[in-house]
Amino acid sequence: MKRALILIVVTVLVTLMMPSRRFVATQTPIGQQWKDETLIAPFDIPIVKPEGLVAEQKASLSNTIKPVFILDTSIISTTYDKLKSHLQDIDTISNEMLDNVLLAWSKVYKNGVISNSEASTYDSKAVLVAIAKDNDLQTYHIGHFYTPNSATKYIEHESGVSSDAFSQYVETNLNYDQTLSAALRTSVLSGVSTTQGLVRSGEVIVTKGQIVDEPTYRTIKSYNIEMTNRLGDAPSLLNVLLGRFIVVFAIFMVNYLFFTRFAVHYFGGQMREMAFVMTLYFLISALVAVVTIAGGMVSIYVVPLPIVSIYLLTFFNMRVAIMGNVTVALLGALFAGSAPFEYFTINALGGFMAIFMMRHFYHRGKLMRALGAIIVTQSILYLSFALMREGSFLTISYASLLWFLVSGLLFLGFYQLIYLVERLFGFVSDVTLLELCDTNQPLLMQLAQNAPGTFQHSVQVANLAEGAAKEIGANPLLARTGALYHDIGKMNNPFHFVENLTGNFNPHDDCTPEQSAKIIKAHVTDGISIARKYKLPASVISFIESHHGESLIFFFYNKAKIEAKNRGTEVIDGDYRYPGPKPVSREASIAMMADAVEAASRSLPSYDIEPLEALVDSVIDTQIRDGQFALSQLTFEEIDRIKSLFKSKLNNIYHGRIAYPARDSK
């Protein structure tokens, strides 16, 4: 359930990060060659006008837009009675003069009184004014209205009454309405068409290799705008997102099936491995998304996708690294716009080169050689694709190769984060294994001091295991490191193990076979406790747990059977078997073989070639018959190669020497 949740969450995040509005490479400037495939209109596309033309048309139309004024007719009813009462109180004004004032005053306010400043502004422009009266817009010339000054003169002229008697009642009732004026302007300007012409469905927009001129550029831009508008529709956008989700989920699901079936050693029962891989996929996708959003400012090739394969190779194995490399190349291709196959190929092959060059990390120079191989491989592939597009070396943009150099520098930077990843997720890298292989490590020095015979045995086992791992393509560093620490549990009772005995004293002579078997088995559990105390990696602890598997402690089992036969009792087989588990990884299986072969070889009375080779075959075949490699990832062909290597190395270790003549004491 948790794994399914991780898959779904990462799928959703990657889906949402994918670019939604970049449909074709409109970044191709006017006058340059169209490098992508021929573009055909999938539907009718209105062609957008040049931006300058639309602005010019709007500016021209803007000069014809009339401002809107509100005529306040309520002022007639509210002021008429006050004016009449005021004039009646003046003795010098007759009834006839009163009627003339009121008649002229009413005419003025029916037409409207506008402020002197606004009348001056619009009169100089000779514009028409629209009046909002009873929600009905009517058009009048500015001369149709009065100003406070002209209204006063008109009333004075018509009535013969001095303006001093009524001027205080003359005020503007025609006011500019900014809201209605803005709405009218917006309505009028929105009617300006932003398109001219139409590309019919099925018509060619631009052909591959065509020089992009100004009309073609606008047509490509129109195609993008129409695609954006169509995706703006909610059902269409949801369908696009659903399609992307299915594609990304399918990629991650294939990864999940691969990990759980073909990399079960790492992904069988742990959540952290799956969480780490999905987090890695998400982070690299996010980085690609950021670069994609940046558009033409940064090339998408600047993202060092091969670093993912190196991370997976460092913490898992080549199978996982190859799968991860293909996955991130596919994810990157989903962001790559118009050239997804090119982007996939360049990054996938660059990642493969990184995997093959850095199969196992031993020297810092190997990292630099791998980085150089990545940059050269990607650059050559980029030039090859460019040559296929251009058909000439002269028109290729060689400056684009600098992005691969920048990507290489980022690769080095991200590689330094391996130590942080180790601490966060509890993984172990080859660099850590190299440090643990140093015999000056405190734990190994303690082993050499407390159990010198065991230490020498461990060194020999490590040499055998490392050579065998190289022979079959396993991780030699892991095999060597695990072999060096596999017997650290013997430090608790060093003299109960024959390699540490000196003289004729043997503490097992004072123990029963069952007691001796318990002491021998305890070195496994003691070793696990010591390893955890010193915080050894889990991959190294697995060697301690499984280097004997569930094999039989044959010497004491056989001794117990003899004693039981004399007493007439039975011996329980399980009491004389190691607790296990059986080795799973190839490296742990190799260490188990090397441990048994090296220990058995010390008991040979003769180190001739035939007895040594027969011993190797006998020991390993016994382990196979006992089912100790039932969970191992080794093949029979690999086991045969391991046998041959052990025989060769043991013959070199125990080769015969010539007898030197005794020196004369004189």
In this prediction, residue 359 carries a pLDDT of 66
In this prediction, residue 94 carries a pLDDT of 84
In this structure, the answer to whether residues 402 and 468 fall within a common structural domain is no
In this structure, the answer to whether residues 529 and 488 fall within a common structural domain is yes
User: Helix/strand/coil (H, E, C) string of 198-219?
Assistant: EECCCCEEECCCCECCHHHHHH
**Mean pLDDT across 119-123:** 75
Residue 125's domain comprises: 62-189
| pLDDT band of 659, cuts 50, 70, 90 | low
**Mean pLDDT across 183-198:** 80
CA dist., res. 615 & res. 621, Å (int): 10
Burial class (CB in 10 A: 0-12, 13-18, 19+), 63: exposed
Which of 378, 405, 425 delimits the end of a domain?
425
Residue 655 pLDDT exceeds 70:
no
Tokens of 64: 């014809």
In this structure, the answer to whether residues 603 and 487 fall within a common structural domain is yes
CA dist., res. 390 & res. 383, Å (int): 10
In a domain, 150, yes or no: yes
In this prediction, residue 22 carries a pLDDT of 44
CA dist., res. 493 & res. 616, Å (int): 28
| pLDDT band of 231, cuts 50, 70, 90 | low
Q: Give every CB contact of residue 64 below 8 A, 6+ residues apart in sequence.
A: none
pLDDT in tens, 485-506: 999 999 998 888 888 887 677 7
In a domain, 637, yes or no: yes
Residue 276 CB neighbour total at 10 angstroms: 21
Is 525 in contact with 545 (CB distance < 8 Å)? Answer: no
| pLDDT band of 102, cuts 50, 70, 90 | confident
Which of 391, 425, 459 delimits the end of a domain?
425
Which of 122, 157, 189 delimits the end of a domain?
189
Of 142-146, 148-152, 243-247, 359-363, give the lowest mean pLDDT range: 359-363
**DSSP letter for each residue of 138-164:** EEEEGGGSBPHHHHHHHHHHHH---GG
3-state DSSP: the chain helix, strand, coil percent, rounded to 5? 65, 5, 30
Q: Max alpha carbon distance in the chain (Å)?
A: 171
pTM: 0.62
What does the mean pLDDT of the chain come to?
Answer: 83
Residue 377 CB neighbour total at 10 angstroms: 20
In this prediction, residue 362 carries a pLDDT of 57
In this structure, the answer to whether residues 474 and 619 fall within a common structural domain is yes
In a domain, 103, yes or no: yes
pLDDT in tens, 9-65: 898 999 888 875 444 545 677 888 776 667 777 778 888 887 777 778 878 888 777
Mapping DSSP to helix (H, G, I), strand (E, B) and coil, where does residue 174 land?
strand
Phi-psi region of 361 (alpha: psi -120 to 50; beta: other; left: phi over 0): beta
In this prediction, residue 36 carries a pLDDT of 66
In this structure, the answer to whether residues 130 and 90 fall within a common structural domain is yes
In this prediction, residue 529 carries a pLDDT of 94
Q: In the Cβ-directed half-sphere of 437, how many Cα atoms lie within 13 Å?
A: 19
In this structure, the answer to whether residues 340 and 481 fall within a common structural domain is no
CA dist., res. 532 & res. 544, Å (int): 11
In this structure, the answer to whether residues 390 and 458 fall within a common structural domain is no
In a domain, 39, yes or no: no
**Mean pLDDT across 265-273:** 73
In this prediction, residue 130 carries a pLDDT of 64
pLDDT in tens, 420-475: 888 888 788 888 888 899 889 999 999 999 999 999 999 999 999 999 999 998 88
Tokens of 551: 């094999």
pLDDT in tens, 54-93: 778 878 888 777 888 888 777 777 788 888 888 888 878 8
**Count of the separate structural domains present in the chain:** 3
CA dist., res. 437 & res. 444, Å (int): 9
In this prediction, residue 543 carries a pLDDT of 94
